[in-house]
Homo-oligomer: A and B are copies of this chain.
Amino acid sequence: MTEVGNRAVFGSDRPIGVAVLGMGNVGTEVVRILREHADDLRSRVGAPLVLRGVAVRRLDVDRGIPADLLTTDAEALVTRADVDLVVEVMGGIDPARGLIGAALSAGKSVVTANKALLADYTGELAAAAERSRADLYFEAAVAGAIPVVRPLIQSLSGDRVNRVVGIVNGTTNFILSAMDETGADYEVTLKEATRLGYAEADPTADVEGYDAAAKAAILASLAFHTRVTAADVYREGISNITAEDLETAAAVGCTVKLLAICERVPAGPGEPAPADGGKERISVRVYPALIPRKHPLSAVNGAFNAVVVEAENAGRLMFYGQGAGGAPTASAVMGDLVMAARNKFYGGRAPGESVYAELPIAPIGDTPTRYHVNLQVADRTGVLQAVAGEFAKHGVSISTVRQEGSDEGARLVVVTHHAEESALADTVAALAELESVTSVTSVLRLEGTEE
């Protein structure tokens, strides 16, 4: 039975044709590597990889490659008979979705870095790949050069992943690191990040957490064998984070990071526990949170990414590296391309979508996390008692309270044990109504503690 998969399907002189969609930062690097490292790639695949064409929006730009390789007709390119593999690095939903679908339907294997597309349409694309027995690879869609998709799909395929926590957006990590280091406020730091090229002119997708949420959806799908889309991910961005938040964090030995968190949580209220046959759920969320400075993710600074995976047998693993940029992302694309090409040459296929577990998504309202609540209060006896009373009334257990004098009264910093989001929200609403509470200055989640 081992015969079937191993025949060299192509003669060894038959080259494997590659089409590239998009020639931005990543596409340019992919084309460069295909040309500069042709000999190595040929040795690794078993047959030459030959660039058949690059789809671009405009032909009147000199891109340093022969003009006859460029085309604006991406649709024709992806189904050309001499194209075996399609690299999609144009980004966005349309026309990428249709082009990838057309390529897969025509039996071309596809390598994509398109997290937004995958977060919503992996099911559709994987089904197209399945029907025509083509491959869909997407290592570059999460955390750039860092191998995390393949480890989750393959290396951990015999383990049970309990939790994935990552810093998967370089722009926000650059901003938060800089705020932590300089003490500057968000707006100033964002401007600097834009000037340095770490943030785009319209930074919304990054700073509001949409990019991280797409990656969280992909990671959760892989980790839990369940289809998770961007709409399933609870999301908060960093645009409300203030210099004072970072100062407060530093005062308690923490820093602030935008985290993508995917984890198993208990069955819903009223459901039997998983041990008693109830179905466990998963929580997938992206938000800025305090993490202790001794947590391995707290040392991940600047535009770097890191993903921590906790599995039943493997324990805690961490993957660290460059999460964005032309060359690092192209490295991940090229690894996928070589594997897809080998499958074309030797037979064999990438593992398809694995969504058999179909775990329900827990709403953020009953996902317990710890909280760090900053209050401005009147500086008089009984305030602490009143505040503590509100926490108790809503079933939120307090871990520590710190009180500091300030010019306008006193400041209370309350750190809770794990509490459900809804209970905490009710507590905060009630605190704001207390006569002795001047204001609820900030509410930040606290992650990465053992408790």
Q: A139-B155, A158-B334, A335-B157 are in contact. Are A225 and B2 (CB under 8 A)?
A: no
Does A347 belong to the interface (CB within 8 Å)?
yes
With contacts A331-B159, A347-B4 taken as known, whether A321 is within 8 angstroms of B315 at the C-beta atoms is: yes
Answer whether residue A181 sits at the interface, using C-beta atoms and an 8 A cutoff.
no
Restricting to A151-167, which residues have a CB under 8 Å from any CB of B? 151, 154-160
A26 CB to nearest B CB, Å = 11
Cα–Cα distance between A336 and B147 once the two chains are bound (Å): 16
Other-chain residue from B9, B311, B357 in contact with A331 (beta carbon distance below 8 A): B311
Interface string of A327-351 (1 = CB under 8 A from B): 1101111111111001110111101
Whether a CB of chain B sits under 8 angstroms from the CB of A235 is: no
Chain B neighbourhood of A3, CB < 8 A: 133
Q: Which residue of B lies closest to A158 (CB)?
A: B334
Cβ of A321: which chain B residues have Cβ within 8 Å of it? 314-318
Residues of B within 8 A of A151 (CB): 147, 150-151
Task: Flag if B41 contacts A158 (CB, 8 Å).
Answer: yes
Interface size on A, residues (CB 8 A): 72
Contact between A159 and B107, CB atoms less than 8 A apart: no
What string of 1s and 0s marks CB contacts (under 8 Å) between A129-143 and chain B?
000111000010000
Given contacts A151-B150, A154-B150, contact A349 B346 (CB under 8 A): yes
Tell me which residues across on chain B come within 8 A of A10, comparing CB atoms. Answer: 1
In whole angstroms, what is the CA distance A41 to B334 when docked?
30
Nearest CB of chain B from residue A304's CB, rounded to whole Å: 9
Answer yes or no: A421 CB below 8 A from chain B CBs: no
A182: interface (CB < 8 Å): no
Q: Which residues of B contact A146 (CB under 8 A)?
A: 317
Interface presence of A57 (CB below 8 A): no
Interface string of A346-368 (1 = CB under 8 A from B): 11110100101100000000000
Question: With an 8 A cutoff between CB atoms, is A120 at the interface?
Answer: no
Say whether B7 contacts A344, CB under 8 Å. no
| CB of A44, distance to nearest CB on chain B (Å) | 5
Distance, CA A132 to CA B151, complexed state (A): 27
- Do A158 and B347 have beta carbons less than 8 Å apart? no
A354 near B44: Cβ-Cβ < 8 Å: yes
Determine the chain B residues whose CB is within 8 A of the CB of A312 once the complex forms.
327, 331
**Alpha-carbon separation in the docked complex, A370 to B266 (Å):** 53
Query: Which one of A1, A29, A132, A158 has the greatest number of beta carbons of chain B within 10 Å?
Result: A158
List B contacts of A33 (CB < 8 A). 158-159, 313
Please name the residue on chain B nearest to A6 by beta carbon.
Answer: B133
Cα of A336 to Cα of B314 in the assembled complex, Å: 13
Asked if A43 CB lies within 8 Å of chain B CBs, one says: yes
Known: A150-B151, A157-B334. A320 touches B322 (CB 8 A): no
Q: Once the chains bind, are A4 and B2 in contact (CB under 8 Å)?
A: no
Contacting residue for A145 out of B313, B322, B351, CB 8 A: B313
Q: Chain B contacts of A154 at CB under 8 A? A: 150, 154, 335, 338-339
Contact A354 B43 (CB under 8 A): yes
Known contacts A317-B319, A356-B43: A337-B225 contact under CB 8 Å: no
A-B contact pairs, 9 of them (CB 8 A): A2-B107, A2-B349, A5-B343, A37-B158, A145-B315, A147-B147, A151-B151, A311-B331, A315-B328
